[in-house]
Structure 1
Amino acid sequence: MALESVPPKYAQLVAELKRRIEAGQYPPGEMLPSEHQLIAEFSVSRPTVVAALRVLREEGWIEARQGKGRFVRGRPVLSALEHVRAGQLRLSGPEIDLAGDVVEAGAVTAPKRIAALLDVPASGRVFLRRRLLTYQDEPSELLSLWLPLELAEGTGLTSDQPLRQGIREHLESRKGVVFDHVLEQITARMPTTEEAQTLGLGRDVPVLVVFAAVRDATGRPLLVVEAVLPADRHELEDAYPLR
């Protein structure tokens, strides 16, 4: 079973807006279409548009001017080397853009690595939100969010329905936290029996596991994204300048 990775809707919108900027359809200095115009043209939700505009702003393609709107800056220097990291991708886009079901949401005992990344006592209790993502009705990824119990309380993360916001936008608006940076780790291992059964893996198929630990500006851990990816269905790539 071979699966292809399909970008979520907000990432597709980012790619199209970049294409238009590079083609001169939106020249530097021109105001970008409004959120309402983008929603109508691309038939997407407001959270999808907001997530796409955030990525464009963070990468330097556009700038926001208070009370005026968003304006095109043009193709950023080194943009050819830019690449959205795996953890960032799973934090920014609306959950609803990724097909799949919530298979677990509640308090659990933190595994050793998660306890260390969240700076909680060994065997301490944390909140787990786990989704089984699918592509063409086949399992493609096991995505888990681990966070302190107090940070999950009062949020939509306890629901069994996918959020219409990205995780970052949801927690920053609901809990008043500010995501500052991510520590990302990637490991390869054989799947657990449960992972193999859930993902429908054949014998001897390893998994790639991405851990993205999100922290605020003081270094306080906010949450950990854990993505378990069948090695025969995904590949990870990155690009960066040498100077």
Structure 2
Amino acid sequence: MAGESTPKYALIASTIQDRIISGRYPVRSLLPSEADLVREFGTARATVVRALEFLRLEGWLEAQQGRGRTVLGRPHTERSPAPTRVLRLLAGEDSTHVSLLRAAPVPATDRTADLLGLTTPARVIARRRLLADSGAMPPAFAIVHLPDGIAQRSAMVMNAPIGEDVVSRLSRTGHNPRRITERLTVRPATPREASLLTVHRGRCLLVATLVVLDGEGRPLVAVDAVQPADRTIVEFGHGLS
């Protein structure tokens, strides 16, 4: 079934991990260029870039402006737990803090298909949700995208609220969620987003894209969320050794 085979970017990432572990790519050495990897794996540059970004987020590589990507080796520590801002976007639809606006099957866009490792044309279940203003966190509008097969088996197809959080539901139905990647960008609100979030049109929004991955790096769920940027604080910790 589409979406259940390991996507190409995950296979590339796994191959590079194996080469780092074996010493073929030594620690502090430069990784081959994107162009070299595109030729070797016979795939699009966007797929290679996604694999490299995944490895950077996992702590295997470091990107250096003007030099390329440096090998850091196998990450020495476990990844830290997902922060509250991430878990909030995956929370259950309890109607008090998270309201389900609509859940329905839709054709996957090229972007959604790429995030989920699907071959187009494909169908996904889109769960559109509105997250209430909590005082500590601003209101947010989120769309949870699930491949049709995963949504069917985890009973997240129906157009009715689900009280259980997404990660717990996936775990209980045998999908083994293990990691979450997060990408943050900023852009002006669209008219629909401004209306949903009751903000002025053109107001700056923080855009979060989450992908929940299983133990083999296969995407299970993708989430697109927007919230007012001027009330959002994102903090990261970085080691110095």
Give the TM bin, normalised by the shorter chain: 0.5 to 0.7
Equivalent residue, structure 1, for 2:238: 240
Q: Tell me the residue number matched to 1:153.
A: 152
Q: Which amino acid aligns with 2:216?
A: T
Deviations 1:77-134 (A, max 9, x none): x9xx98726334433x444286132112011122332221101134532111111112
Say if 2:80 is the partner of 1:96: no
Summarize the alignment of residues 19-168 of structure 1 with structure 2, pairs less than 5 Å apart.
84=83, 86-91=85-90, 93-96=91-94, 99-122=97-120, 124-135=122-133, 140-168=139-167
Deviations 1:124-181, CA, capped at 9 Å, x for gaps: 32111111112279x810022111001111544234444332211112112x110121
How big is each residue's C-alpha offset from its partner over 1:22-69, in whole Å with a ceiling of 9 and x where there is no partner? Answer: xxxxxxxxxxxxxxxxxxxxxxxxxxxxxxxxxxxxxxxxxxxxxxxx
Q: Does 1:204 align with 2:202?
A: yes
Rounded Cα–Cα distance in structure 2 between residues aligned with 1:234 and 1:97: 23
C-alpha distance 82-183 of structure 1, shift in aligned 2 (>3 A)? closer
Supply the RMSD in Å over aligned alpha carbons. Answer: 2.9
TM-score, normalization: structure 1? 0.58
Residue 153 of structure 1 aligns to which amino acid in structure 2?
Q
Matched, 1:173 2:172: yes
| Deviations 1:179-222 (CA, angstroms, capped at 9, x unpaired) | 12122111111222221222122133011111111111211110
Q: Quote the Cα distance in structure 2 between the aligned partners of 1:171 and 1:236.
A: 27
Unaligned runs of 5+ in 2: 1-76
Counterpart among 214, 225, 228 of residue 227 in structure 1: 225
Contact in 1 for aligned 2:205/2:228 (Cα 8 Å): yes
Residues 166 and 237 (structure 1 numbering): CA distance in 2 closer, same or farther, change over 3 Å?
Answer: same
Count of residues in correspondence between the two structures:
162
